[in-house]
Structure 1
Amino acid sequence: MLHGAWSPRKVDPLAAQYVDLLVSDPANAYLAAPAYAPAVWRWATLEARLQLLDEWISNMTIEQQTAPTRRGGSSPLDLWRQFEATAQTARSRLGLDPLSRARLGRDVAQTRLDLAQLLSADKQGDDDDEE
């Protein structure tokens, strides 16, 4: 086994730790909802694989990191970069970086404002009907 990034035996326990850490933080309470479970697990799996790849390449020289693998595929560093980009996308979708958290907060606040305006307009319409 080179790095274990494809081994459920190595990945799943790490991913479970990432999930536990994430949902135990009160700031991420919304991610504990069952509707988020598949996306949270996917993110955690990516983070676990990224960690295993990082541990694997950290013991290599730069030449080893940038050389194509024996199978003629991407270099270890290129593989790590691909996983980092994919993990970053998953982080953003879940609101786990500052910019995406701010955007998510803005969208939630706007939705609440829109709902409040809708309810207010509906209440005014009811009041007008009573007159």
Structure 2
Amino acid sequence: MEVTPFTPAFPGQEFEGQRPPFEKNNTLSLKHGAHSERSLAPLAEAWVKTALEQAPYLRDPSYEPALLAWARFEAKCDLLHDWIDDQGIHGLIDEVGQATPAAKLLPTYEGRAAALRATLGMDPISRAKLQKDSAAAQIDYSILLSQANAAREKATP
């Protein structure tokens, strides 16, 4: 019986049967993608774009941190919903009848997205409150401006 020397099939192979290293940017271990920046970023970007088209007041730089956080949570929810739907019943409940990790995460992420929507005035009640507060601030500003003008007129002989 002839013994043949081991010849590596790829760089770094140390023994027969060893698999090649994972290629960069592979998705073999990706489940739903809710923790993957590569999966989240394009969806979050689309959510931001839609929000800016629907609510131009969000272009004010003071909204940016909350807007980006909201978009990320919406993207996480999208990815979890898609994964759960693709898995069928096993997306919600595992083989022993317990909620899957994705099913446990979803209500938390949905709640955070809803809270951030309210913070940004992206639901009817919070939008009305923001508009009311903005109108009240404008009235306060006009009163102050009127008082300043009256004081200036009084001071001028």
Task: Tell me, yes or no, whether TM beats 0.5.
Answer: yes
- Give 2:69's aligned amino acid: R
| Partner-residue secondary structure (3-state), 2:108 | helix
Is 1:124 the equivalent of 2:124?
no
> Which ranges of 4 or more aligned residues in structure 1 deviate by more than 4 Å?
none
The structure with higher relative contact order (CA 8 Å, sep 6+) is 1
Q: Which runs of 5+ in 2 are unaligned?
A: 1-29
Structure 1 residues 24-35: aligned runs within 5 Å: 24-25=53-54, 28-35=55-62
- Give the TM-score of the pair, scaled to structure 1: 0.85
1:106 counterpart residue number: 132
Deviation at 1:128, TM superposition (A): 1.9
Deviation at 1:68, TM superposition (A): 4.0
Deviation at 1:78, TM superposition (A): 2.7
Q: Which runs of 5+ in 1 are unaligned?
A: 70-74
**Structure number with higher helix proportion:** 1
- Give the TM-score of the pair, scaled to structure 2: 0.72
Question: Kindly, what percent of the aligned residue pairs are identical?
Answer: 34
Residue-pair matches, total: 124
Please give the alpha-carbon distance, in whole angstroms, between the structure 2 residues aligned to 1:76 and 1:8.
17
The correspondence for 2:69, drawn from 42, 47, 54, is 42
After superposition, the CA RMSD in angstroms is 1.9
Deviation at 1:119, TM superposition (A): 0.7
Please give the alpha-carbon distance, in whole angstroms, between the structure 2 residues aligned to 1:18 and 1:76.
21
